[in-house]
Structure 1
Amino acid sequence: MNSTDHSTPTPTRELRLWPAILLIVLMVVARVFPKLLGLRDPRVLTVSFLGPALCGMLLLLGWWLASSRAAWKDRIVGVLGVAGLAVIAGFLSDRSMLPLGYMMYAIPWGMAAFGIGVVGASLVAIGKPVWIGLLASLIAFGYWDAVRSDGVNGDFRDARSWRWEPTAEERFMSELATRAKKPGELATSLEKVAEVAEAEWPGFRGVHRDNAILSAEIDIDWEVRPPRELWRHAIGPAWSSFAVAGNRLFTQEQRGEMEAVTCYDADTGDELWALDYPSRFWEAIAGAGPRGTPTWHNGHLFTLGAEGILQCIAANTGAQIWQRDLREDASRKPPMWGFSASPLVVDQVVLVHAGGDGDRGVLAYDMETGDLAWSAPSGDHTYSSPHLVELLGRSYVLMLCNDGLCALDPTDGSVAWKHAWGMEGYRVVQPLVFGESRILLGTGMEEGTRCINIDINGDQLDTTEVWTERSIKPNYNDYVAHEGYLYGFDHNIFACIDLETGVRQWKKGRYGNGQVLLLPDANQLLVMTEQGELIVLRTNPEKLEVLARHPVLNGKTWNHHVLVGNRVYARNAEEMAAYELPMVVR
């Protein structure tokens, strides 16, 4: 007698998919939403950077492991599989992707791909969802292992290349190997260099560090007489500008594992000399290379490298005279984006910001010997440079840092007065003095700009806040003042504000995070956009008035450009170029 089995099979439970779909949508929102709104608050940026990774963890653990309804074997396989792929991807990632790119992109993409694969396989009933998810995760992690980061622009939009393609620096180093001069050529170059005695543009932002060029006017009929390219050459990465003395250009750059101070012929762009030394600074946002600009003074160059190497160099030969190390003198490591101050020469001392504890904030060195002359307290975090100004008949060195503005007596470093304005983020731009007693303090992110007034109170000077406005928020884009108005960058858009009130007059011109020069006698502005385009504007508080424009450089351009005579010298992290501009003869 046959028995009949009346048992029924256990029904297969459908996967709960909606939490996965919700978390994937949240990952996209966390990444894209702050950028669409132009939000720059550090807390918001943290959500944009790390929010997708957190959602990815919730996707893997909160949904798949805890509440997906998948078989427990599949849950364990999925979690261990994605975790294993993440670990392997971390080991195989290009150095430029670690740790920021790995956390921002590889981890979220790998986890999101797993969720998308599982959801997709479940909806169309193709294959086993856990294996489809792992395959999708493998592809995602594999993509991020195949690329490298080329840094980000001023809006934190990243640039990527395949990791097997040579970098701009590698291409430059290959070219550099073919540039070796013969002894006779080097001697001829040095003879040319030795003739120079004056510096038309002695360092960062010009004579007074204000980006102003007097007695100059650009002929704006560029359709008839466009700027003429004189030369163009590859250069090592750095965010340095130029110092210009006669027919020489001085700058700084990274050359492999060596930092270099370099001198170029202003007429041809040919290298005259290079002083290199073992040092390499790199970080994921801005990449490799020095940040400061050489300072020329009486035939000497003073330079500060990104890892803190301060040097005095003979400008005619490139021979080192003395060297100091800020890491030792200030007992600190380089800040997040490297030591960035351009040295300031006042009388017989050379000043730099070091940001050490106690009185090791600003360091002053004897110009001839390199001995420490004095030191003064300052904030520990800034990418601004010491700034010499005249206020109410007295000289001060201003230092804008994370804790506010400090005014030092240049003779001994004693603190004359301070204005407290602390912040968690960074400050980069120079303080701007206008009128007899007013100073602008610029801050990027969402802090904005503050105007303060300096008042005489007996033998003391006091500061009072005039206004603080978010109408202009400069990141690393110094602004200029002209006839009662300020012209500069509000993040990536050019703007004009009333200096008396801080009220914005207009905001227009998406030039990225570029730089601007002022030609006050001609009521002109010479803008270099982040994309490397040169634009002439009229100083017009009523509207943005574009007079002429011409492409100059290729690639991301954060460096300050220079105008000397009728020549513009410009560079970025990949190339440098010189252009002759048509000028109005007065």
Structure 2
Amino acid sequence: MPAALPLLLTMPLLCATDDWPQWRGPTRDGVWHEEGLLKSFPNEKLELRWTVPIGQGYSGPTVADGRVFVADKIDEPAETERVHCFDAATGDHIWSHAYPCNYAGIGYDAGPRCSVLVHGGKAYSLGAAGNLFCFDASQGQVLWSHDLQATYEIEMPIWGIAASPIVEGDLLIVPVSGKDAYLVAFDLKTGEERWKSQSDRGNYSAPIVIDQAGQRVLVCWSGDRVIGAAPATGKLIWEHPFPAHKMPLGVAAPVLAGDLLFITGFYDGSLLLRLDQDQPRVEEVWKRRGQNELRTDGLHSTISTPLVLDGHIYGVDSYGQLRCLRLEDGERVWEDLSAVPKARWSTIHFIQNGTTTWMFNERGELMIARLSPEGFKELSRASLLEPTRGQLNQREGVCWSHPAFAGKHVFARNDKELVCADLSAR
């Protein structure tokens, strides 16, 4: 049972328009469309509406139809991944599904990486070892499932499978990284394979779907190249080389800004492409890569996806440096070291709400800020969650999972608990 406060009875019910049903929000762009939010935090530590115990994992929570979904892993009595569903208003447990998993060869084995995706009354989960499930979202019955590792002969990336699937039309498109099956599309209702495409080795970067030259285009960075494919068929539309010179290491998704597409990775720096809107093709605008992971140029992001505002890129570099770049040429405008402690792969998740940027750093702190070419303006900061060592057994632990924002509340997890806090204006 969750530890809840009496104030919970006043919590507004979450409605469909408030949902956060997939990784990085309704349209996978890290934008939060709500009003009536706090301008500053009343205390240094956020008051929690409820908290429930969970196991380890990197999977960020998602929220849909009044429910919160999250995946985790336990190791006793055997390696087991679990998918949980809780009531968003109370934290009460609704259902869970557990299944055996094998993390042999997977580094950072704390648990699932991908967020549960909720669509059309169904919940889709993908484990780090390739266990794909479709559940009835309200009751938790398994409607269909696949062992992707067995079916597609995955050459497992060192971090396991981390790129969250995406829904397009009646398809669930999954970056599988399998033999002749980097991308695989499944029928949402039946789980039947509809197509498989490309033979790239795979990366951790999740795909997005954009509109270009009058058609829908699935965009992803495979670790070898940036790919534009037809989501209905998997057919390659365009490609641009962006090979990893060591190993593909980038969780950040491609970022769309008008007719520009920004891609970034830890070892390989930044790439900006221009999308032709008359015919489906791309051209390189600029590319920047530093001498090494310490002496960087542009932006070498690892886990967090940058954001683009008014002709500037804001993101976290390889060791936690918050940077602003000019979009047109990648030149650095400023760097700030106060948002998160400097450390390898140090992380901040960015969520844009109007002119305000909400930032959740790996120390479990939630910040309200303004980002502009003039600098990082911190308006308020409060502790939401304690870092834990399951995700990273260094620097007193981390909070690397992406939070969810729904119904004027934030939902976040570490390796011990899932929490909810009210962010509505008082």
Unmatched 5+ residue regions in structure 1? Answer: 1-178, 181-194
Q: 8 Å contact 1:514–1:527 — kept in the other structure?
A: no
Q: 1:213 aligns with which of 19, 32, 55?
A: 32
Matched, 1:448 2:280: no
Residue 178 of structure 2 aligns to a residue whose secondary structure is: coil
| Counterpart in the other structure of 1:142 | none
Q: Which runs of 5+ in 2 are unaligned?
A: 3-13, 290-296, 388-397
Question: In the alignment, which residue of structure 2 is the partner of 1:323?
Answer: 145
Q: What is the distance in 2 between the residues matched to 1:223 and 1:323?
A: 46
1:106-133 deviations in Å (ceiling 9; x for gaps): xxxxxxxxxxxxxxxxxxxxxxxxxxxx
- Structure 2 residue identity aligned to 1:499: L
**Separation in structure 1 between the aligned mates of residue 15 and residue 141 of structure 2, nearest angstrom:** 16
For residue 311 of structure 2, the aligned residue among 458, 467, 484 is: 484
Rounded to whole Å, the distance in 2 between the matches of 1:414 and 1:238 is: 34
From 570, 575, 579, the counterpart of 2:412: 570
| Contact 1:197–1:299 (CA under 8 A) maintained in structure 2 | no
**C-alpha distance in 1, partners of 2:302/2:283?**
24
Task: Check the 8 A contact 2:107/2:160 in 1, yes or no.
Answer: no
What code does the residue aligned with 2:254 have?
P
Of 329, 352, 357, the residue aligned with 1:519 is: 352
SS in 1 for 2:174: strand
Which residue pairs with 1:581 in the alignment? 423
Q: Please report the TM-score for the alignment, with normalisation by the length of structure 2.
A: 0.85
1:573: how far off?
Answer: 2.1
Aligned amino acid, residue 221 of structure 2:
L
Which residue pairs with 2:116 in the alignment?
294
The correspondence of residues 193-232 of structure 1 with structure 2, limited to 5 A, is 200-216=19-35, 218-223=37-42, 227-232=46-51
Q: Matched residues in 2 for 1:559 and 1:204: separation?
A: 10
Deviation at 1:383, TM superposition (A): 0.8
Summarize the alignment of residues 436-475 of structure 1 with structure 2, pairs less than 5 Å apart.
437-445=259-267, 447-455=268-276, 460-468=280-288, 470-475=297-302
1:473 deviation in Å? 1.0
Deviation, 1:280, is 4.2
Q: Secondary structure at the match of 1:465?
A: strand
Q: Which residue of 2 aligns with 1:311?
A: 133
SS of the residue corresponding to residue 430 of structure 1 reads coil
Aligned position for 2:55:
236
- SS of 1:306's partner is coil
How far apart, CA to CA, are the structure 2 residues paired with 1:297 and 1:267?
20
Residue 497 of structure 1: CA displacement? 1.4
SS at match of 1:329: helix
**Which residue of structure 2 lines up, in the alignment, with residue 388 of structure 1?**
209
Residue 8 of structure 1: aligned partner = none
Within 5 Å, which residues of 2 pair with 1:147-158?
A: none
Alignment equivalent of 1:552, drawn from 359, 371, 384: 384
| Bigger fraction of residues in strand | 2
Q: After the TM superposition, which of the residue ranges 420-429 and 276-285 deviates more from structure 2?
A: 276-285
Q: How far off its partner does 1:326 sit?
A: 1.1
Hey, what does 1:276 align to over in structure 2? 98
Identity %: 26
Q: CA deviation at 1:442?
A: 0.7
Q: State the AA in 1 paired with 2:285.
A: E
| CA deviation string 1:175-220 (max 9, x = no partner) | xxxx69xxxxxxxxxxxxxx98777111111111111112436432
Deviation of 1:505 (Å): 1.6
More divergent stretch after superposition (375-384 vs 196-205): 196-205
Structure 2 partner of 1:500: 328
Alpha-carbon contact 2:212-2:277 (below 8 Å) kept: no
Q: Give the superposition deviation at 1:392.
A: 3.6
Q: Is residue 44–residue 382 contact of structure 2 (8 Å, CA) maintained in 1?
A: no
Q: How does 1:53-68 map to 2 (within 5 A)?
A: none
Counterpart for residue 82 of structure 1: none
1:515/1:216 Cα in 2 relative to 1: closer, same or farther (>3 Å)? farther
**Map of 1:399 onto structure 2:** 220
Confirm or deny: 8 A CA contact 2:286 2:330 kept in the other structure.
no
What secondary structure is seen at the aligned counterpart in 2 of 1:544? strand
Q: Deviations over 1:73-105 (max 9, x none)?
A: xxxxxxxxxxxxxxxxxxxxxxxxxxxxxxxxx
TM-fit CA distance, 1:572: 1.9
Residue 255 of structure 1: which of 74, 94, 97 is its match? 74
Query: After superposition, what is the alpha-carbon deviation per residue over 1:307-354, rounded to whole angstroms, capped at 9, x for unaligned?
Result: 101111100000000011111232124321111121211111111111
For 1:429 and 1:552, the matched residues in 2 are separated by 23
Distance 2:69 2:226 in 1: 30
SS at match of 1:328: helix
| Equivalent pair of 1:282/1:289 in contact (CA under 8 Å) | no
- Give the deviation of 1:434 after TM superposition: 0.5
C-alpha contact 1:227 1:581 (8 A) present in aligned 2: no
Shift of 1:460: 4.9
Contact 2:273 2:286 in 1 (8 A): yes
Query: CA, structure 1 residues 540+196, in 2 after alignment: closer, same or farther (shift >3 Å)?
Result: closer
CA distance in 2, matches of 1:519, 1:428: 19
Q: Distance in 1 between matches of 2:90 and 2:220?
A: 37
4+ long deviations beyond 6 Å: 195-199
Q: Secondary structure at the match of 2:281?
A: strand
How far is the alpha carbon of 1:379 from its aligned partner?
2.1
- Contact map agreement 1:450 1:466 (CA 8 A) in 2: yes
Q: Secondary structure at the match of 2:150?
A: helix
**In structure 1, distance between residues paired with 2:144 and 2:361:** 37
For the residue of structure 1 that corresponds to 2:177, the secondary structure is coil
Q: What corresponds to 2:64 in structure 1?
A: 245
Q: Contact conserved, 2:162 with 2:204, CA < 8 A, in 1?
A: yes
Structure-2 separation of matches of 1:499 and 1:217: 31
Partner SS for 2:209: strand
Instruction: Report how far residue 430 of structure 1 moved.
Output: 0.2
SS in 2 for 1:310: strand
Answer yes or no: is 1:540 the counterpart of 2:372. Answer: yes
Paired amino acid for 2:324: C
The CA deviation at 1:552 is: 0.9
Q: Secondary structure at the match of 1:335?
A: coil
Q: Residue 420 of structure 1: CA displacement?
A: 0.7
Q: Aligned partners of 1:282, 1:489: CA distance in 2, in Å? A: 31
Kindly state the Cα deviation for residue 225 of structure 1 after the two structures are TM-superposed: 10
Please list the CA deviations of residues 405-429 of structure 1 after superposition, one character each: whole Å capped at 9, or x if unmatched.
1111011110000011111322221
- What one-letter code is carried by the residue in structure 2 that aligns with 1:534? L
Give me the whole-angstrom Cα distance separating, in 2, the residues matched to 1:283 and 1:530: 26
Q: CA separation of 1:548/1:198 partners in 2, compared to 1, >3 Å: closer, same or farther?
A: closer
Residues 23, 62 of structure 2: 8 Å contact kept:
yes
Contact 1:313-1:320 within 8 A present in 2 as well = yes
1:431 aligns with 2:248: no
2:224, 2:139 → 1: CA distance? 40
Distance 2:138 2:32 in 1: 26
Following the alignment from structure 2 to structure 1, what is the Cα–Cα distance between the partners of residues 300 and 264? 7
Q: Please state whether the residue corresponding to 2:375 is helix, strand or coil.
A: coil
CA distance in 2: counterparts of 1:201 and 1:410, whole angstroms: 23
Please say if 1:412 is aligned against 2:233: yes
Determine helix, strand or coil for the equivalent of 2:231. coil
